[in-house]
Amino acid sequence: MPRFFVENEAICADRITISDEDARHISHSLRMKPGEKLTVCGPDGTEYLCAAEHFTAGEVSLAILSRAPSANEPPYRVTVYQSLVRGERFDAVIQKSVEFGAAAVVPVAAARSEVRLSAADAEKKRVRWQRIAQEAAKQCGRAYIPAVAPPVPFEKAVSEAGGTRLFCYENERTLHLR
């Protein structure tokens, strides 16, 4: 069943209004008709089972059939800190991190990172990465879209990471927990 994410402003009593790109996707790409069902996730983790009602230029009106807290979120909160890597490999890290239940992904600019980004390039990438996180969240049935942060230096990543920290290194043979 198709899944979409909305902000609180889109939810009004027993109706949800979806606009812009998602509305075009529902009406043109999915070719949904009145009465067809879809899932909408609110920012508080509530999942709404909805039926399409009205289609206008740039908007789709949905009737809320039922609502319930999402059961698809893991009981833990994990933030993935990943060193910047070349090509589409970082895209795959974001996608898989979201699918495995990460709450956030933080790109790390380490001394030996393969990629160096200017501030402008970093923001363009972050916007793209956030879209990848959203698509992965839709695909795997998440109730929230995990945040993708702007890249941070390695030192800041180490200082802001809380709880149990796991550092993965491709040539390491022992596990060290801190």
Q: What is the pLDDT of residues 47-62, one digit of tens each?
A: 999 999 999 888 999 9
**Length of the chain measured in residues:** 178
pLDDT of residue 90: 93
User: 1 versus 100: which is more confidently predicted?
Assistant: 100
Sorting pLDDT into bands at 50, 70 and 90, what band is 178?
low
Average pLDDT over residues 80-86: 91
Q: From residue 53, how far is each of 6, 29, 31, 49 by CA, in Å?
A: 17, 17, 13, 13
CB distance 60 to 23 below 8 Å: yes
For residue 107, the model assigns a pLDDT of 94
Interior CA angle at 100 toward 96 and 105, to 5°? 65
Contacts of 31 (CB under 8 A, 6+ apart): none
What pLDDT score was predicted for residue 18? 95
Which bin fits 31, alpha (ψ -120 to 50), beta or left (φ > 0)? left
The burial of 176, by beta-carbon neighbours within 10 Å (0-12 exposed, 13-18 middle, 19 or more buried), is given as exposed
